[in-house]
Structure 1
Amino acid sequence: MRGVFWKIYLAFMVTGLVTTLVTLVLASYYRQWSNDSVNLIAPTGGYISAAELMLQQGGEPLLLEWLLSFERHPSVNAYVFDHQGVSLTPAPEAVIRYAYSSESYQARINPVGRSEILVKAPISDASGQVYLLVVEFIHPLLVFNLPQYLAWGLLASVLLFAIWSLLLSGYLTRPVRQMQKTVRAFAQGDWKARMSPRFLRRRDELGELGREFDHMASYIERLIHDQKQLVSDVSHELRSPLARSSIALELARLDAVPEQEEHLDRIELENQRLNDMIEDLLNMARLETQQDHSHWQPVDCGQVLQQVIEDAQFEHPESIINFSSDADIHKVIGDIRLLHSAFENIVRNALLHTESGTSVDVSVRMRRGQVRIVIRDHGPGVPDDKLEDLLRPFVRAEVARQRINEGHRGFGLGLAIANRVVAHHRGRVRLLNHREGGLMVIIYLPPDL
C-alpha cells in the first residue's frame, strides 16, 4: 500500500514542480510573446528627447549628470556614445555590442538575458555633432536578485506542493488502506469483517467496490456456515450407522461358527476402512473452513518428525528410517496436531511404498530462509506426469492400488490432506522422483522469525 501512496504523492509533486517550471518559462518569455515589450519601449521617446535637450543646453557635463541620475532607477539604465564610439559612462559588454552592431535603430529583446530590452537612437548637440543614446531595460528577475528570488520561490513551491500532495494522497489512499485491513481480517477468519458505514456512503468507485466486497463477504460467510453445518450433519449421519454396524458385528461374533469368522473379519475391515475414509474427508473439510489461528504456537518440526518416526518404528519394528537435521532449524508457527498428522501421513506413505530392506530417509534443513523437510522412500517412484495428481483427493499410484488387497489403507487422501495442512500453514509441497529411484516429498514452511 505504501507503494501506491508514494506513487500518487510523487505524481502530484512532479506535476506541481513541472507546472512551476513551465510558469517561470512562460513568465520569462511573456514580454517577447506579448505587447508588453512594446509598452516598455514606448517611454524611450521621452528619454531620447530629455537626453538631447540636456546635451544641447549643457553639453556633455549636463548630459553626464543626467545619465548618473539613472542609478536611482534599478530597472532602467541609459548610456551615451560620442562620435568616436566611446561611452561617457561605463557600459556592459552587451550594451557595447548592441551599440556597435550594424542593426538599424531596432529594439533588441532578450527574454533570458540581463538586458531584457535594448533601444538606441541618435541625438545631437548644439553644434550638430551626433551622439548615440542606448536605453537598457534590465530583466525584472535580476532586479529582484534572481538566485535568491528563484531559491525562495522554488522552496515555497516545494513546501506548498509537498503539503498539498501529502493531504491529497492520504485522502485517496486512506479508503484503500481501510479496505486492505478489512480484507486481511476476513482472510484470517473474521467472517464478520465488513467495510465501515462511512466508507460505504462514498459515491465514487471506491464506495461501489466496498459495497461489492461486503456483498461477497456475506455470501462467503453464508457458504462457510452451511459447509460447517454440512460437515457436522455428515459426521453424525454417517458415523451413527457405522457404530450400529460395529455393534451388530460384535453380536454376530458371539453366535458365529469358525467358518464365518473370515467373513466377519472382512466386514470389520471394510467398516474400519469406511470409518477412516469418513474421518479423512471430515478433516479435509475442516481445513477448508478453519481460519482461527489463535491457538497456533511455535513448533519444532525436528521434534515432531522424531516423534512420528518413533511411533512408526514402534508399529513397524522391521522398518529402517534415517533422520538428519541441522542444528539451527527455526521453528514454525502453526498447529502442532495438524503438522504431526501431515508428517505422519507422508512417513507412513513412504514406509508403505519403499522396497523391502530399504530405508526411508527424513531430513530437515534451512534453505533460502525456509524450513525444508524431505521424506524419501526407495520404492518404484511415480510417473512424472502423475506427480501433481497425487496431491489431489482419491488419486492413487498403481502400487497403492495393489496394496489395498493386502489390508493397507489406500483411499488417496493421505498426501491430499498433508498438502492441505501445509498450504494451511502458508507452505507448499513438491513431489519429485529421485534420480536413484524412489519418491521424494519436499515440504517448505515459513519460519517464525
Structure 2
Amino acid sequence: MRGVFLKIYLAFMVTALVTTGVTLVMAAYYRQWSNDSINLIAPTGGYISAAELILQQGGEPLLLEWLLKFERHPSVSAYVFDAQGLSLLPNPPEAVVDYALSSESYNARISPLGRSEILVKAPIQNTEGRVYLLVVEFLHPLVVFNLPTYAGWGLLASFLIFAVWSLLLSGYLTRPVRYMQKTVRSFANGDWTARMDPRSLRRRDELGELSREFDHMAAYIERLIRDQKQLVSDVSHELRSPLARAVVALELARLDAVPDQEEHLDRIELETERLNDMIGDLLNMAKLETQHDHSHWALVDCGVILDQVVEDARFEHPDSLIHLTLAADLPKVFGDARLLMSAFENITRNALLHTHSGTSVDLSARVKDQSLRIVIRDHGPGVPEDKLTDLLRPFVRVETSRARLGEGHRGFGLGLAIAHRVVSHHRGQIELKNHREGGLMAVIDLPLDV
C-alpha cells in the first residue's frame, strides 16, 4: 500500500512542480505576449525630452547630476553615451552597452528572462549640435524584488504548500484502499465476519462501489462456508448414531455366529472402526474451521509434546526406529497443547506408515528465524514434486509412490490436512519437501511472538 500511496503522492508533486514551472514561464513572457510592454515604453518620450532639455541648459555636468538622481529609481535606469560610445556613468550593465553600441535601429529590445527586461534608446543633442545617445532601462520585476531571495522563498513556500496538500489528498484517496486491505487480510485469515469500514461504504465513487461489492461477496462466502461446516458437522453426528447401533448389532451377531462367520464379522468391525475414525477426523476439521476462541491457549513446551508423541509411537510400533533430537533451551510457543499434539501425531503416524522397513523416522526441533522449527522425516519413497501441496488438502493420497504391499488400510487422507489446519490455526506454516537423500520431510514453523 505504501507503493500506491507513494505513486499518487509523487504524481501530485510532479504535477504541482510542472504547473509552477509553466506559471513562472508564462509570467516571465507575459509582457512580451501582451500590450503591457507598450504601456511601459510610453513614458520614455518624457524621459527623452527631459534629458535633451537638461543637456541643452546645463551641459554634461547637469545631465550627469540628473542621471545620478534617476539611478535611485527602483525599476528604471537611464544611461547616456557620447559620440565615442563612452558612458557618462561608470560601469553600465553589459546588456545596456551591447544595446547602445548595436547597429540596429532605435527599436525597443524586450528580454523577458534578462536583467534588462526592456531597453529603449533615442538620440539627444546639445546646443552645439553634438549628438548623444540616451538609453532607458526597465529592470525585470524579479531583479527589483531580489531574485535569489524572492525565488528561493517562493519555491520553498510552493513546495511546502503542495507537499502538505498532496499528502492530504493522497491520504484521502488511499485511505479506503488501506481499510480494504486490512479487511481482506482479516477475511483471508478466517474472520468471516470482517466487513468494510462504514465510511468507505458511504462513498459515492468507484472505491465506495468496490467496498459495497466486497461486503456482498463476503456475506455470500460466509454463508456458504457456514452452511458447509454445518452440513459436515450434522452429517458426521448423524452417522455416529447408526454406527453405534451397528456396533451393538455386530456384538449381538457374534453371540450366535459360527466359526466360519468370525472372519466376516471381523472385517465388518474393522470397516466400522475406520468409518468411525473418518467421522472423528471430519468433526475435528470442522471444529478447527469454526474455533476462534483463544482464551484457553497457554504457553506450550513442544519438546515435552514431542517426547510424548515419540513414546506413544514406540508403543504402537515397537519394531520401528524413531529418533528425536531437541535443541537445548527450546522456547515455548503460545497455543493449544492438545491440538499441537494431534498435528505432530498425525504427521508421525504418516511417516511410520511410509518409511521403508528397517529405516527410521526422525523428529527434531530447533529455533530458526524467530520461529520454532519442527521437522519430521521418513525414509520412504517420497512424493512427486507436483503432488506435495495437494497432500495438505483433505482426502488426497498419493498411493502410486507411497503404497506398500501388505500394510492394509492406508487412511483417508485426512491426517496431513488436519495437521495443516492446526498449524495454520496457530499462525504457523507447514511445508512438505522431498529430502535430497530420499523420503518425505514435513517442516513446521510455529511463530514465537504470537
Identity, % of aligned pairs? 77
Paired position in structure 1 for 2:168: 167
Mark the CA change 1:402 to 1:318 in structure 2 (over 3 Å): closer, same or farther: closer
The question of 1:179 aligning with 2:180 is answered: yes
The question of 1:395 aligning with 2:397 is answered: yes
| Aligned residue identity for 2:356 | E
| Aligned residue identity for 1:150 | A
Distance 2:151 2:386 in 1: 70
Number of equivalenced pairs: 448
Paired position in structure 2 for 1:357: 358
TM-score computed with the length of structure 1 as normaliser: 0.89
Query: Which digits, 9 at most, give the CA deviation of each residue in 1:122-170, with x for residues without a partner?
Result: 1110100011111111111111111221122123212322332233223
Matches within 5 A, 1:131-280: 131-280=132-281
Distance 2:424 2:86 in 1: 93
| Aligned residue identity for 2:313 | A
Query: Which digits, 9 at most, give the CA deviation of each residue in 1:299-339, with x for residues without a partner?
Result: 44444323211221232233222222334756555443333
Worse-matched range after superposition: 76-85 or 278-287: 278-287
Preserved contact between residue 48 and residue 123 of structure 1 (Cα < 8 Å): yes
Preserved contact between residue 323 and residue 363 of structure 2 (Cα < 8 Å): yes
Worse-matched range after superposition: 237-246 or 406-415: 406-415
Matches within 5 A, 1:58-97: 58-90=58-90, 91-97=92-98
| Structure 2 portions without partners, runs of 5+ | none
Deviation at 1:366, TM superposition (A): 4.1
Deviation at 1:184, TM superposition (A): 4.1
User: RMSD over aligned Cα, in angstroms?
Assistant: 2.7
| Aligned residue identity for 1:31 | R
Paired position in structure 2 for 1:36: 36
Query: Which digits, 9 at most, give the CA deviation of each residue in 1:359-404, with x for residues without a partner?
Result: 111223444555443222222334455444433424242476546x
Q: Secondary structure of the residue that 2:53 maps to in structure 1?
A: helix
Mark the CA change 1:99 to 1:174 in structure 2 (over 3 Å): closer, same or farther: same
| Aligned residue identity for 2:347 | I
The question of 1:130 aligning with 2:163 is answered: no
Distance 1:2 1:426 in 2: 24
Mark the CA change 1:29 to 1:448 in structure 2 (over 3 Å): closer, same or farther: same
| Aligned residue identity for 2:46 | G
| Aligned residue identity for 2:58 | G
Deviation at 1:242, TM superposition (A): 0.6
Distance 2:235 2:166 in 1: 58
Distance 2:386 2:195 in 1: 43
Mark the CA change 1:384 to 1:192 in structure 2 (over 3 Å): closer, same or farther: closer
Distance 1:286 1:96 in 2: 95
Distance 1:329 1:134 in 2: 92
Preserved contact between residue 382 and residue 401 of structure 2 (Cα < 8 Å): no
Q: Secondary structure of the residue that 1:72 maps to in structure 2?
A: coil
Distance 1:437 1:317 in 2: 23
| Structure 1 portions without partners, runs of 5+ | none
Preserved contact between residue 188 and residue 292 of structure 1 (Cα < 8 Å): no
Worse-matched range after superposition: 10-19 or 393-402: 393-402
Query: Which digits, 9 at most, give the CA deviation of each residue in 1:177-212, with x for residues without a partner?
Result: 333344444445444443354432322112211211
Distance 1:193 1:381 in 2: 40
Preserved contact between residue 81 and residue 132 of structure 2 (Cα < 8 Å): yes
Preserved contact between residue 353 and residue 399 of structure 1 (Cα < 8 Å): no
Worse-matched range after superposition: 282-291 or 74-83: 282-291
Distance 2:40 2:333 in 1: 80
Mark the CA change 1:7 to 1:332 in structure 2 (over 3 Å): closer, same or farther: farther
Q: Secondary structure of the residue that 1:239 maps to in structure 2?
A: helix
Mark the CA change 1:312 to 1:167 in structure 2 (over 3 Å): closer, same or farther: same
Preserved contact between residue 365 and residue 373 of structure 2 (Cα < 8 Å): yes
Distance 2:124 2:272 in 1: 126
Mark the CA change 1:385 to 1:217 in structure 2 (over 3 Å): closer, same or farther: closer
Distance 1:20 1:415 in 2: 63
Deviation at 1:280, TM superposition (A): 2.0
Preserved contact between residue 121 and residue 134 of structure 2 (Cα < 8 Å): yes
The question of 1:312 aligning with 2:313 is answered: yes
Q: Secondary structure of the residue that 1:83 maps to in structure 2?
A: coil
Deviation at 1:245, TM superposition (A): 1.0
Worse-matched range after superposition: 410-419 or 41-50: 410-419
Preserved contact between residue 375 and residue 442 of structure 1 (Cα < 8 Å): yes
| Aligned residue identity for 1:212 | E
Deviation at 1:286, TM superposition (A): 3.7
| Aligned residue identity for 1:56 | Q
Preserved contact between residue 396 and residue 411 of structure 1 (Cα < 8 Å): no
Preserved contact between residue 111 and residue 118 of structure 2 (Cα < 8 Å): yes
Preserved contact between residue 301 and residue 332 of structure 1 (Cα < 8 Å): yes
Preserved contact between residue 390 and residue 396 of structure 2 (Cα < 8 Å): no
Deviation at 1:406, TM superposition (A): 4.1
